[in-house]
Structure 1
Amino acid sequence: MSIASEQEVPSVRLLLHLSVPAIIVGVISAAGLFLVDEAAHLVEEFLWVLLPGLLHVSPDSGWWIFAVLGFTGFAIGLVVTFAKGHGGRDSATVELIAPPMQLSAVPGLVVVTALGLGAGVSLGPESAIIAINTAVLVALVNRFWPRMGAELVVMLSVAGTIGALFGTPVAAVLVLTGVVAAAKSGGVLWDRLFLPLLSASTASMAMVFLGGQLLRAPMVPPVDSPLLAMLPAAVLVACLAGLVGLSGSALFQPLHGAFRRLKRPLLYTTLGGLVLGVLGALGGPLTLFKGSTQMVELVGRAGEFTAWQLAYIVATKLAALLVAGTAGFRGGRIFPAVFIGVAVGLMCHAVIPQVPLGLAIACGALGAVLAVCRDGWIALFIAVVVAGDIKLLPLLCFVVLPVWLLVARAPEMIVHVPEKPDSGGRHAL
């Protein structure tokens, strides 16, 4: 019987025994994220620094952005069409926590993920990296610790990867608390979270040791205004960002279906790359990539943009996220959603300067992330990280409630398809 079986409550001795593989899972999760991120940096340096320098062109020019993204769509289409495993599952159809894919699909998914991240495709690394780490770790742990079972290994690898992505195990525990609470299993909650937290903590420390950094926080002054007086404005900003996210969610499935009418991945990823190239040329470098570094730059230059210019950036980035997410590219939607939410917050701050900058971007990030991922814990966590001000937490805990009522029953930014049986014999979670 595996530790993941429905009614088994892990003993202290068993938890200590499985701590060793949990630590190993955390280290490997961080290493996997770091290696893919470094590969993406190499692609980025080649496409946006070395190659333009050799050709004596400006990497910020519209035609270069168009050419890079168009070529990237074609290259990813080739991998998705011809590589074994077809570059993993379609990211538009995958939740953060999904059944492990075949190990043979990992190389193709690594290639398309590094290409997309490095070329400036508007998707984050989270879902692709989780899929890569999960496939590798399920194969590895099942070989040496078969008693753990696939379900527990998936949870540990998800925890480790999220811990590495955000640089803290808190994010992983917040995400997995809902999963554990929803599971039909006995035992104390922290018995169930012990090993995932150990994996996430190890991965976070390993990522710090490796020097990786995925989610960056902009420098904003602390909020000194009375928080109670700011409550209506905070709810307004968060709900507006939530509506922006919901507009994307409403278009997500129809756009996915429109691209799939082309039937061949090479055709719809190439078309998607060309559309992304046009959007990137129109929106400029700030609207490219996953959005973490660009978010910091946008906040730092907030005074340079009018509300209309920020609205244009929001619309361009949202369109880029929708195209990238539905045209066969691989990656997650959380990081671009953070950028969009922060831009909405900056837009509201430009219209109503009385709303503190830190509060505006925190509420914007909260609303957009909640609309896109439907996880209140991760939305709250990211909002506090973006603002860098723990004093906002009580206010944000209230603000998340009306936003949840707004988004809870609305369409999600995911395409639900029937799960196909895994030819490798792995069962769904």
Structure 2
Amino acid sequence: MQISETATPAAHGPWWRSLYAQVLAAIVLGALIGHFFPTLGESLKPLGDGFIKLVKMIIGPVIFLTITTGVAGMADLKGVGRVAAKAFGYFFVVSGFALIVGLIVANVFGPGRGLHIDPASLDASAVAGYASAAHDTTMQGFLLAIIPDTLVSAFTSGAILQVLLVSVLFGVSLVLAGEPARPVTRFLEQVSQVVFRLVAIVMKFAPIGAFGAFAFTIGAYGIGVLVNLFALVAAFYGTALVFVIVVLGLIARATGFSIFKLLRYLKEELLLVLGTSSSEAALPSLMTKLERAGAAKPVVGLVVPTGYSFNLDGTNIYMTLAALFIAQAMDVHLSLGEQLGLLAVAMLSSKGAAGVTGSGFITLAATLAVVPTVPVAGMALILGVDRFMSECRALTNFVGNAVATLVIAKWEGKLDREALALALDGGAAPVAETPDPAAGPGDDKVLADD
């Protein structure tokens, strides 16, 4: 990987030109408009939706080009399988632990105790759509959905795992084809330069997307809805924060970096995720920054997209915590065996819930549908605050995948410790690959860190 010019904090000019400051200002402005002018706030929803659609438009090409050229560059198919095996092992252990953490917090603090909700008083129709979608989510259906109808449809369906499958197979084919395929690999590497320039262009609209999405959230649901279910929201945010700082923090320290420095390094992306309630919105720039921080391109290409469906720490905490909250609120006692059964079902149903707003609610419905002791209609209790919890789910998922990628890169011996330290300490970090000689000064500063 060739490295272009570097970007230092001073290279950005005025602070207000940084993406971090712009997104933060957009979120604050969106919250104010949504609170004081709720009708106007709701009408701004297309701005957030439009930005997320722009990001989704480029996710497929970014994943394909990153993985294909990365696998082709490895020239060792055993290495690809080894990375995948380590990734899935890590995902299973850490995301499973997240489920257990949610279960423990719900039992210790009991956020739903004392509400004494009568199931008959709930509006089951409010969650009927989610329950219907969850009913269609089976393990068999999930596995078959990974296989696209055609090679091209993988890029039009918006399914990350379909693109991942096609990308790995194409990269493996390039390796097996040998020397005759070298021109194809070089061509894809050149195309990737254009696509990542496109990523930089799209990310300039991030403040507009965050502004519209946050204005809609506050305008549609209101800050007051948080007060009604404060115990659940506070328990979830507190649990997620402890999980990130303690659990992921210890994993990060064992790997040789600070979780706080990583959070600072990814602050722009974290604000974007907060504003849009979707970790998918920051996927392309996450991959760029992790490569810049020293993680090898093949590892980033394999781990990040896969983690978006299989390493959902925030979603897992939410699922067990919310399920027990509903049970407690409706005075449904779950034995230890039933809770462990709930955990096992959640472990399966959480897979495939990619970083799209609302997917956590659907997988919760899928989990409760298999555990008849807790009525699915009880989800109506948390429907009003789910959007606020969606933001926390997305943030935790995002951080979890960033940590996982660096951990697996270290396990593989594919982590440049010097580049990692430089990036996390805010030094002059590498930004883009193979600069275009015709590019003007500063054109290569793709998503540079503050």
Instruction: Verify same fold: TM over 0.5.
Output: no
TM-score by length of 1: 0.30
Of structures 1 and 2, the one with the larger relative CO (CA 8 A, separation 6+) is: 2
